[in-house]
Amino acid sequence: MNERSHQDAASDRLRALVEVSQSILLHRDLADLLEDLALRLQPVAPFEVVSLILHDPAAGRMRLHMLRGPLPPLPIPEGLPVDESPAGLVWQTQQPLLLENLEHEDRFPALIPYWREQGIRFVCMLPLTTAHRRLGAIAFAATHEAGNGEYDLEFLGSVAREVAVAVDNALHHQEVQSYQRRLARERDRLRTLLDLNNAVVSRLDLRELFAAISSSLRQLFDCEFASLALHEAERNRMRIRALDFPTGKGLIREEMTVPLDVAPSGEAFRRRQPLLLNRAELERYPHSAIEAEGLRSVLCLPLVGRTGPLGTLNLASLRESAFSQEDVDFLRQVADQIAIAVENALAFQKIEQQKDRLAEEKLYLEDELRAEYGLDEIIGESPAWRRAIEQVRKVAPTETTVLLLGETGTGKELLARLTHQLSGRRTRNFVKLNCAAIPTGLLESELFGHEKGAFTGAISRRIGRFELADQGTLFLDEIGDIPLELQPKLLRVLQEREFERLGSSQTLRVDVRLVAASNRDLASMVAAREFRDDLYYRIHIFPIRVPPLRERVEDIPLLANYFAQNHAALANKHIETIPPEAIEAMTQYPWPGNVRELENLIERAVILSPGSILRVPLAELQMPATPQNASPALVDMERDHILRVLQQTHWRIAGPGGAAARLGMKRTTLQSRMRKLGIERPEAGPLSEVPRKSRRR
């Protein structure tokens, strides 16, 4: 090379150094700087490959930074340990490293064979160092062995020093920007914490609280899904109480429940630790709705309140790796704050429910105080009545559903109250509802309650009878009048002990003992498809037949005297006696209205009586020889029942095993009823208390 060529080369190198210096001033972004340096070094560097290998102090490794542009980077495996990298040696010793013949180089076995495969034959590395710190190394490589004079180590050292300043400035700029971004992120997170704090102190409704929480978190995290799942201890399941997933397919819904062992929320709840799952980890839940909804990143944070774990706050994204460990650490603090808010909201919700329930109980109990009968009014000594009472005493201590069957006015409600008072639920509510007295459109609301706005006229939330009777007894009178379309919901609450108020998706659980009553033939209604068979079998566990008053005539004098004294006290009168003829007339009357009809008659008699003797309007009790003016259905029912018992006793009337004892009547009363109903034994001859063979003797 002649002197002129040497001068031109030196001039080009000097110009390149000036341009490198200018590049330092023009670029603050490291990627842009590296690309510009590659363009400026290409004309003066006799190498085909130029790369920067910078030290990563956090990982303790040397990492490749590519010079984008015409010059390709030196191929280096990502993240080599310092001791295994030639750039690491240069960084440690701060001395240039020349690898002039790679065919005979036996150092760096993890790297040299790889370079040989790539066609590299010569490598020159120089330290990148400024007055402030050691950065790494710059590498120049060629696919041919370098000859004498093809490189100028002094020039390359000058280039390395200029590049070091440029890289240091760019890294410093990156660090400043990173610090500023970190400050901005911290500011945003502090603002989020402040917003959350305002939300927890100003909202006590659980859904309103979650809406505020979700809105605050969406401003900070790019997530499409947020939910609040609370643990149900009685079923050991997680229930989604609030959900924010506007782009969802509907596979994940509010109020849906999942077992603890098949959901990420359940795992986070059990472990009481945040659970961060990316796409690979989500494969542990192959049949969950998470995969079907297309979610690729899930973060579940346990909510632990003052009384223990409550549930989880769940965030998810359609993108992979949407949450960093830094996000997890921040959200762990958020979860502690949210747990307090959720605990307060649940406590407020419980207080409000108790408040509503107490208000309903107050009204209900005030109504109960005005009820017609009390338990001390269970009056009767007849065998038929005693049998019914004995059955109640046997079943009351259990949790079995009781079905009271009998005509209207026979005292079914009294037996229902007795069942409650003799049970372990006696200290809780006894709630009654006459299903026949409520319009069909309002019956569901009466049973299960409704939310405000559930239907026209629902101006406030109402607690239903099932909620009111929780831990107590619910008496459903005339259950046969419940419409068919409502019966499945009734069956569900009896079997699963859960239901939803009208206008609400929240599932409520109750513990209620049911006593039902009906004056209708439910079995015939089932056959006629007027009553669901599954509901019938669910309530027909322990049926008790309540005898009509005509089968307990021995109790008529007792009941008449009791009603006379009660109504006389109310009318400020004094009744001392009831005439025998009045008693006889009352015992002969069939009483189609049963005890209720008897009480109404006595009340009228008290009003009409001028003195201490009860003047019963006997004209109302006059019956012809055949009961023509009685209800045909009642007459036929009574006649068939007496005939059936007579046939079973072989027409024996008196005695311990006779028909009178089985029917709970006196012998004379049964004979009188048989004459009025036209009942005669098949054989000729008068009615008898004993078989005909005995009389012949």
What is the residue-wise DSSP string for 60-120? TEEEEEE--SSSPPPP--TTEEGGG-HHHHHHHH---EEE--GGG--S-TTTHHHHHHTT-
- Which residues neighbour 475 within 8 Å (Cβ) at sequence distance 6 or greater? 413, 416, 417, 420, 430, 431, 432, 433, 515, 516, 517
- CATH number of this structure's domain 3-175: 3.30.450.40
First-residue to last-residue Cα distance in the chain: 162
Nearest to residue 51, comparing CAs of 109, 137, 167?
137
pLDDT score of 191: 72
Q: What pLDDT does 559 receive?
A: 92
Q: What does the alpha-carbon distance between residue 479 and residue 449 come to, in Å, rounded to a whole number?
A: 18
- Confidence (pLDDT) at 624: 44
The superfamily (CATH) of domain 377-547 is P-loop containing nucleotide triphosphate hydrolases (3.40.50.300)
- CATH 3.40.50.300 segments of the chain: 377-547
Closest CA to 445 of 431, 464, 424: 464
Look up residue 107 and give its amino acid: R
Instruction: List, for the chain, all residue ranges whose pLDDT scores fall below the cut of 70.
Output: 1-13, 16-17, 19-31, 33-34, 37-46, 66-79, 146-151, 189, 192-204, 219, 286-287, 352-353, 355-377, 622-634, 664, 683-697
Q: What is the pLDDT of residue 405?
A: 94
Query: What is the C-alpha separation between 192 and 550, in angstroms, rounded?
Result: 77
User: Which among 551, 531, 557, 464 is positioned nearest to 502, based on CA atoms?
Assistant: 464
Q: What is the pLDDT of residue 427?
A: 87
Burial 313-339 (b: 16+ CB within 10 A, else e): bbbbbeeeebbeeebeebbeebbebbb
pLDDT of 533 = 94
Bridge pairing between strands 225-232 and 308-317: antiparallel
CB 469 within 8 A of CB 482: no
Q: Give start and end residues of each alpha helix (H) in 531-593.
A: 533-539, 556-570, 580-588
What is the Cα–Cα distance from 102 to 80, expressed in whole angstroms?
A: 19
Residues of the chain with CATH 1.10.8.60: 550-677
Question: Where in the chain are all domains bearing CATH 3.30.450.40?
Answer: 3-175, 203-349
Cβ proximity of 122 and 141 under 8 Å: yes
pLDDT, one tens digit per residue, over 569-606 is 988 998 888 998 889 889 888 898 899 899 999 999 99
The second-level CATH assignment, the architecture, of 203-349 is: 2-Layer Sandwich (3.30)
Predicted confidence at residue 90, as pLDDT, reads 92
- Prediction pTM value: 0.50
Residue 688's φ and ψ, nearest 5 degrees, are: -140, 160
- Please give the class, per CATH, of domain 550-677: mainly alpha
* 49-56, strands of its sheet edge to edge: 80-81, 61-66, 49-56, 134-142, 122-129, 97-99
Q: For residue 9, what pLDDT is reported? A: 61
Copy the structure tokens of residue 541. Answer: 């566990």
In 259-410, alpha helices (H): 264-271, 279-282, 289-292, 325-369, 383-395
d(CA 384, CA 669): 14
